[in-house]
């Protein structure tokens, strides 16, 4: 390729467009086109099959094996998006999406992300764009107040407190775990890194295990303490204490506890205050992971879920899960940011500046894993202002109400059981063992984990797995599963922005129809 010559195509009439990658008129033309495309997508996303049904490798067969040498018009690319990408998307924006936890979107969140992308600033320290840092501190105090976090977590209430916007909970866990690790090692000596122990329950998100692996915690020192259905899968203070005592007896050093508020499988809510009572005697850093459910705590009636938060070291939730702030937006507050900074700061020559040296400003690079960061706060600022606190509360309540409706419908059908009482907007249900027994006219006994005692098939777990497959294959709704105490449980996580009550009722009818075909109507 004689690449030193200009490509003939850029000498054509299209040349201005091609070599002016930020031409304002072309920016408008393509920008409008995408806005129209997305508006149309939102208007119709409810009609798409929620779960994609493509086969592995489908896209490779449809796209070229190398990048084009010359430019291609946006119109062709958009056609390809419609024809080849859309069929391979699982539609998280669909009103019929009930999987995992939702990916929460809104016009305000989208606009905030657009603005951040458009400004293209890199906000690693204050001087690199003061507005980015200052707006973030302000918005994190706003949101902290809405959650009624103690003042020790706010910039306005504590010299060392404050909040930061990260990407995901994984980052929040890793940053605080590294801070806790180094804080402990500074007392016991760095050579004891192999003795540090971290604690969570068996309901704690796998992100915690991942953070622990990355931070160099010995795999044998990762504790996932058993929880029980009878106590709604919450971590008990007694279990925590006995685990700690055993570790201490074995010469290990307790370091960090991740408590759940709204854990993934069943939205379990650990008793934050009583766990802190145990942790404090061992100098354990306590983090509250409220990734999904934290949002709800802006409603006074749910605030009790984080009672005791005044005793923890750090608290995080994902505004991209249930707070209308498009991916990604993890809100983390800490009481003592100097602990984070000690572990996460570096001070290279090229970033030194008078503002940072004056200690009058925050440099968010020292609160996170990466150096670079976008103008993160715009999105949250737009969401808080565009909707306002009262509407945000009502939006969340509307989802909780819909979950109650769904839970009520499940309870009315005796073939089903609600596996644990519904927390927030997550309903965990399954075809009950007794329904299978009824169907097995020979009266085969069913064990609590859903297996038939004499080995007869299908087991309750298999039956529920089949039901979930049928629901998802239909394309009319998408739910996912959890496995707790050996039971396969279907999760209906309500929270997609476009979901309304009629969608939820339709989803339930779908569940019933497929159950009819599985079990027969009786």
Residue 120 in contact with its own copies, rule: CB under 8 A: yes
Q: Could you tell me if residue 216 is left (phi over 0), alpha (psi between -120 and 50 degrees) or otherwise beta?
A: left
In 3D space, the residue among 191, 417, 365, 137 whose CA is nearest the CA of residue 145 turns out to be 137
Contact residue for its own copies among 152, 158, 386, 405 (CB under 8 A)? 386
Structure tokens at 492: 């209906």
Q: Minimal distance in Å, beta carbon 267 to its own copies?
A: 12
Half-sphere exposure of 121 (CA within 13 A, CB side): 18
**What secondary structure letter does DSSP report for 452?**
B
Residue 186 in contact with its own copies, rule: CB under 8 A: no
CA distance 205 to 379: 26
Contact residue for its own copies among 174, 235, 339, 400 (CB under 8 A)? 174
Q: Minimal distance in Å, beta carbon 460 to its own copies?
A: 16
Nearest to its own copies of 388, 448 (CB atom): 388
Residue 522 in contact with its own copies, rule: CB under 8 A: no
CA distance 265 to 203: 7
Residue 31 in contact with its own copies, rule: CB under 8 A: yes
Residue 479 in contact with its own copies, rule: CB under 8 A: no
Q: Minimal distance in Å, beta carbon 179 to its own copies?
A: 10
Nearest to its own copies of 241, 371 (CB atom): 371
CA distance 123 to 137: 13
Residue 47 in contact with its own copies, rule: CB under 8 A: no
CA distance 402 to 406: 6
Dihedral pair phi/psi, residue 90, rounded to 5° = -90, 125
CA distance 94 to 92: 6
Structure tokens at 444: 């085969």
Helix (H, G, I), strand (E, B) or coil at 38: helix
| 253-260/426-431 β-pairing | unpaired
158 Cβ partners below 8 Å, 6+ apart?
151, 152, 335
Contact of 163 with 141, CB cutoff 8 Å: yes
CA distance 314 to 335: 6
- DSSP element (H, E) containing 273: helix 272-280
Contact residue for its own copies among 12, 59, 447, 509 (CB under 8 A)? 59
Instruction: Determine the interface stretch with its own copies among 63-71, 304-312, 425-433, 434-442 (rule: CB under 8 A).
Output: 63-71
Nearest to its own copies of 329, 409 (CB atom): 329
Q: Minimal distance in Å, beta carbon 433 to its own copies?
A: 19
Residue 7 in contact with its own copies, rule: CB under 8 A: yes
Nearest to its own copies of 146, 510 (CB atom): 146
Residue 54 in contact with its own copies, rule: CB under 8 A: yes
Residue 448 in contact with its own copies, rule: CB under 8 A: no
Residues between 262 and 321 with contacts to its own copies, criterion CB under 8 A:
264-265, 299-301, 320
Nearest to its own copies of 191, 249 (CB atom): 191
Q: Minimal distance in Å, beta carbon 285 to its own copies?
A: 16
Contact residue for its own copies among 96, 141, 295, 450 (CB under 8 A)? 141
Nearest to its own copies of 400, 409 (CB atom): 400
Nearest to its own copies of 300, 443 (CB atom): 300
Residue 397 in contact with its own copies, rule: CB under 8 A: yes
The full length of the chain comes to: 522
Residue 226 in contact with its own copies, rule: CB under 8 A: no
Residue 424 in contact with its own copies, rule: CB under 8 A: no
Q: Minimal distance in Å, beta carbon 311 to its own copies?
A: 25
Nearest to its own copies of 344, 409 (CB atom): 344
Contacts 24+ apart (CB under 8 A), 131-136: 131/375, 132/373, 132/375, 132/376, 132/377, 133/361, 133/362, 133/363, 133/364, 135/375, 135/377, 135/378, 135/381, 136/163, 136/164, 136/165, 136/364, 136/376, 136/377
Instruction: Determine the interface stretch with its own copies among 185-193, 225-233, 281-289, 419-427 (rule: CB under 8 A).
Output: 185-193
Q: Minimal distance in Å, beta carbon 220 to its own copies?
A: 9
Helix (H, G, I), strand (E, B) or coil at 52: coil
Q: Minimal distance in Å, beta carbon 207 to its own copies?
A: 6
Contact residue for its own copies among 188, 237, 241, 369 (CB under 8 A)? 369
Q: How many residues bind its own copies (CB under 8 A)?
A: 166
430 Cβ partners below 8 Å, 6+ apart?
416, 417, 419, 450, 460, 464, 487, 488, 489, 490
Residues between 147 and 166 with contacts to its own copies, criterion CB under 8 A:
156
Contact residue for its own copies among 13, 159, 249, 390 (CB under 8 A)? 390
Nearest to its own copies of 135, 240 (CB atom): 135
Nearest to its own copies of 89, 505 (CB atom): 89
């Amino acid at each position: 390729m004689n690449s030193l010559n200009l490509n003939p195509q850029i000498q054509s009439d299209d040349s201005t467009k091609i070599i002016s990658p930020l031409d304002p008129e072309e920016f408008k033309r393509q920008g409008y086109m995408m806005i129209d495309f997305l508006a149309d997508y939102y208007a119709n996303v409810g009609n798409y099959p929620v779960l994609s049904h493509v086969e592995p490798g489908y896209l490779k067969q449809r796209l070229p094996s190398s990048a084009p040498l010359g430019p291609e018009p946006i119109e062709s690319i958009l056609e390809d998006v419609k024809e080849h990408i859309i069929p391979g998307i699982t539609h998280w924006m669909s009103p019929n999406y009930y999987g995992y936890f939702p990916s929460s979107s809104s016009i305000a969140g989208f606009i905030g992300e657009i603005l951040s992308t458009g400004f293209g600033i890199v906000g690693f320290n204050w001087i690199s764009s003061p507005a980015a840092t200052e707006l973030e501190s302000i918005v994190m105090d706003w949101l902290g107040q809405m959650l009624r976090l103690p003042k020790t977590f706010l910039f306005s209430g504590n010299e060392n407190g404050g909040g930061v916007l990260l990407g995901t909970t994984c980052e929040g866990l890793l940053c605080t775990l590294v801070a806790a690790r180094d804080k402990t090692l500074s007392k016991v000596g760095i050579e004891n890194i192999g003795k540090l122990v971290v604690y969570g329950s068996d309901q704690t998100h796998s992100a915690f295990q991942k953070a622990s692996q990355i931070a160099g915690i010995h795999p044998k020192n990762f504790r996932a303490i058993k929880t029980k259905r009878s106590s709604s899968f919450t971590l008990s203070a007694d279990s925590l204490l006995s685990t700690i005592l055993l570790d201490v007896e074995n010469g290990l050093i307790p370091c960090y506890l991740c408590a759940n508020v709204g854990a993934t499988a069943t939205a379990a809510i650990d008793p934050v205050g009583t766990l802190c009572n145990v942790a404090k005697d061992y100098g354990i850093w306590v983090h509250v992971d409220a990734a999904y459910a934290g949002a709800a705590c802006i409603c006074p009636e749910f605030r009790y879920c984080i009672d005791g938060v005044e005793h923890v070291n750090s608290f995080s939730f994902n505004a991209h899960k249930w707070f209308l702030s498009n991916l990604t937006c993890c809100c983390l507050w800490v009481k003592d940011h100097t602990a984070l900074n000690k572990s996460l700061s570096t001070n290279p020559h090229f970033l030194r500046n008078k503002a940072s040296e004056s200690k009058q400003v925050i440099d968010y690079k020292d609160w996170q894993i990466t150096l670079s960061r976008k103008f993160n706060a715009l999105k949250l600022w737009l969401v808080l202002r565009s909707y306002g606190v009262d509407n945000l509360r009502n939006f969340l309540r509307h989802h909780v109400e819909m979950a109650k409706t769904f839970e009520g419908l499940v309870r009315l059908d005796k073939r089903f059981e609600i596996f644990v009482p519904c927390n927030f907007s997550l309903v965990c249900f399954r075809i009950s063992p007794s329904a299978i027994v009824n169907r097995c006219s020979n009266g085969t006994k069913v064990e609590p984990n859903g297996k038939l005692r004499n080995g007869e098939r299908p087991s309750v777990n298999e039956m529920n797995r089949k039901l979930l497959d049928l629901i998802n294959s239909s394309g009319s709704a998408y739910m996912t599963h959890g496995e707790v105490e050996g039971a396969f449980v279907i999760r209906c996580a309500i929270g997609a922005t476009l979901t309304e009550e009629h969608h939820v009722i339709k989803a339930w009818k779908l569940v019933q129809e497929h159950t009819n075909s599985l079990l027969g109507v009786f």
